[in-house]
Amino acid sequence: MTALSYVTDGDFEERVLKAERAVLVEFTAQWCGPCRQLGPVLKAIAEEETERLDVVAIDVDVSPGTAVKYGVLGTPKLMVFKGGEPVWSRVGARSKRKLLEELETELEPVS
């Protein structure tokens, strides 16, 4: 993946849990203002961090099963998955700089 894409309950396991590298997942909803604010930030990170990270979004209204499974009570919720397990999570919109700072410990350095 090279840009932000959407996943659903149906392909979450294949595209996130079975991914070979870290995946940043945004749990989002169309009605969520902070989610819309975060959209351009995630698109930029998806394009800039293609070497280290895949970035996907999942709409909690379209795919509620995954949201329930991971205890998503508010949106936007960001989670990083590695090796099929959640290793990091935050709730709320943030700037690109802030998000990259927070993610730095979860991302593998580019060699």
Catalytic residues: 32, 35
- Amino acid identity at 82: K
- Amino acid identity at 94: R
Tally of CA atoms within 13 A in the half-sphere of 64 that contains its CB: 2
